[in-house]
Amino acid sequence: QVQLVESGGGLVQPGGSLRLSCAASGSIFSINAMGWYRQAPGKQREVVADITSGGSTNYADSVKGRFTISRDNTKNTVYLQMNNLKPEDTAVYYCNVEAALYYGLGYGDYWGQGTQVTVSS
């Protein structure tokens, strides 16, 4: 009953920027944490950044100072501003939300479809 639609991925040169968006829709009563994960070929999925309902943020060491996560609670949307992109940032990026549904008993975990980010000259 929850859909996460991601947008904003693409091809960018090293040093460039991209802004990812993830909009949640459905029978959502509330959303707790939201986050971004990424997975490169042959590697495990890793957390990039997350943000609590109150706006507290955490970042992977590899992206600190370059990426910024934010959210708009009125739109059930989470963003990832990515600056000074590096080739090692190349991956499929997935958004994640912890959401409670109407008529549900608690929070569940939901994932977006993934969006490709490629950083290359």
What is the per-residue pLDDT across 32-74, written as a single tens digit (0 to 9) for each?
A: 999 999 999 999 999 999 999 999 999 999 999 999 999 999 9
User: What's at 70, amino acid-wise?
Assistant: S
Contact criterion met (CB below 8 Å) for 32 and 110: no
The pLDDT of residue 71: 97
A 10 A CB-CB count for 62 gives: 13
Which tens digit of pLDDT belongs to each residue from 98-113?
A: 999 998 778 899 999 9
Helix segments in the chain, DSSP class H: none
